[in-house]
Amino acid sequence: MPKSPLFDMIGLGVSRETQEKLDHFVALFDKWSKTVNLVAPSTKANIWHRHIADSAQLFKLLPEPKRWVDLGSGGGFPGIVLAILFSETNGHWVHLVESNHKKAAFLRLALSETNASGSIHPCRIEDAAKEIPSCDVVSARALADLGQLLSYAEPWMLFKPKTRAILHKGRDYQSEIEKARGRWRFDLVIHKSAIEADSVILDIANLERLS
């Protein structure tokens, strides 16, 4: 497998075809981000490190789950990156939920032009479970605090007890965990981010709302 920016950052090798798909996605992102606010402007110049590799580490962390729901997919992180990486495997699918119609249009084009394994759901997160009845993993990045994210993930995690929530969090993650435990009971594994020293990935299972 050829060496790529992902390989350098997180030790992930990708095929030449997948690398070309990622390159094309970045080119689309650069074009659309001139008119649509896809990510924070200060992070656009460092897209491979801050966004592509940060998203791809989830693929390395959890290569097995077949059906993902990515909430608030925005500029495609991690949803589009995962859908591209999963396109080399069989049976994987990423459902990207994005209520903003301009962002949803970008995501739809990105999936189409990279032939990635995913679909777009241009609806509110609260309504997404009606369209996507079950999944193995719920992901979200830079979307809301932990308590709110667990409320969003609850329909899938209660319907299928083995469903996990995989959530990117920054330096204040401990306070968010403490606050969320006042409303929820859950099992938690904390993975240190391979990209940002003060960030983590929260791996949550067995979610239960406290009465």
Q: List, for residues 121-135, the tens digit of each pLDDT value.
A: 999 999 999 999 999
How far apart, in whole angstroms, are the C-alpha atoms of residue 146 and residue 178? 10
Phi and psi of 69, rounded to 5°? -120, 120
- pLDDT for 89 equals 85
- pLDDT for 6 equals 66
Residue 96: beta bridge partners?
70, 120
Average pLDDT over the chain, rounded to whole? 92
| CA-closest candidate to residue 142, choices 118, 168, 180, 181 | 168
Judge whether 203 and 166 are in contact, CB under 8 Å.
yes
Q: What 3-state DSSP class applies to 93?
A: strand
How far apart, in whole angstroms, are the C-alpha atoms of residue 154 and residue 148? 10
- What are the tens digits of pLDDT across the range 46-66? 889 889 999 999 998 888 879
List strands edge to edge, sheet with 184-192.
Answer: 118-121, 93-97, 67-71, 137-140, 164-169, 200-209, 184-192
Superfamily for the 5-209 domain? Vaccinia Virus protein VP39 (3.40.50.150)
- What are the tens digits of pLDDT across the range 15-51? 999 999 999 999 999 999 989 888 777 666 788 988 9
Q: What's the Cα-to-Cα distance from 174 to each of 58, 145, 188, rounded to whole Å?
A: 20, 11, 12
How far apart, in whole angstroms, are the C-alpha atoms of residue 77 and residue 73? 6
Residue 5 pLDDT class (50, 70, 90 cuts): low
| CA-closest candidate to residue 191, choices 168, 175, 165, 163 | 168
User: What element of type H or E holds 157?
Assistant: helix 146-159
How far apart, in whole angstroms, are the C-alpha atoms of residue 26 and residue 29? 5
How far apart, in whole angstroms, are the C-alpha atoms of residue 159 and residue 162? 9
Q: Where are the domains of the chain?
A: 5-209
